[in-house]
């Protein structure tokens, strides 16, 4: 995943590999300009001021967030972005 900020910084990070169509990533706006990229098995926190991306434990994420959208496969199995206005938040399977 590659991130560019309006302040001019950028960063890249590898996401958890998709080993069985569990690759959807839900995107959330959190407090203090942070963005959460949450998958079935991992969560990344992006600081929008510094573009620093870090791996985070699920239990340490704020719960008071705004769902922005998700990256997922469409009906033709193409990877694309679905904004929240187009498709509601889809929960992940509990394991």
Residue 70 has what pLDDT? 92
Selection from 85, 80, 36 nearest residue 61 by Cα: 36
This model's pTM is above 0.85: no
pLDDT at 21 over 70: no
Rounded Cα–Cα distance for residues 91 and 26 (Å) = 9
How much is the average pLDDT of 44-66? 89
Tell which phi-psi region holds residue 90, choosing left (phi > 0), alpha (psi between -120 and 50) or beta: beta
Question: pLDDT-based confidence at 92, cuts 50/70/90?
Answer: confident
Distance CA 30, CA 48 (A): 10
The domain segmentation of the chain, as residue ranges, is 2-83
């Amino acid at each position: 995943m590659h991130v560019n900020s309006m302040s001019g910084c950028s960063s890249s990070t590898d996401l958890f590999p998709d080993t069985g169509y569990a690759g959807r990533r839900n995107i959330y706006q959190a407090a203090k300009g942070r963005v959460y990229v949450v998958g079935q098995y991992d969560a990344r926190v992006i600081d929008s001021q510094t573009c620093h991306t870090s791996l985070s434990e699920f239990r340490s994420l704020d719960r008071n967030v705004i769902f922005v959208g998700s990256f997922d496969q469409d009906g033709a199995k193409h990877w694309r972005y679905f904004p929240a206005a187009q498709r509601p938040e889809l929960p992940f399977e509990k394991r």
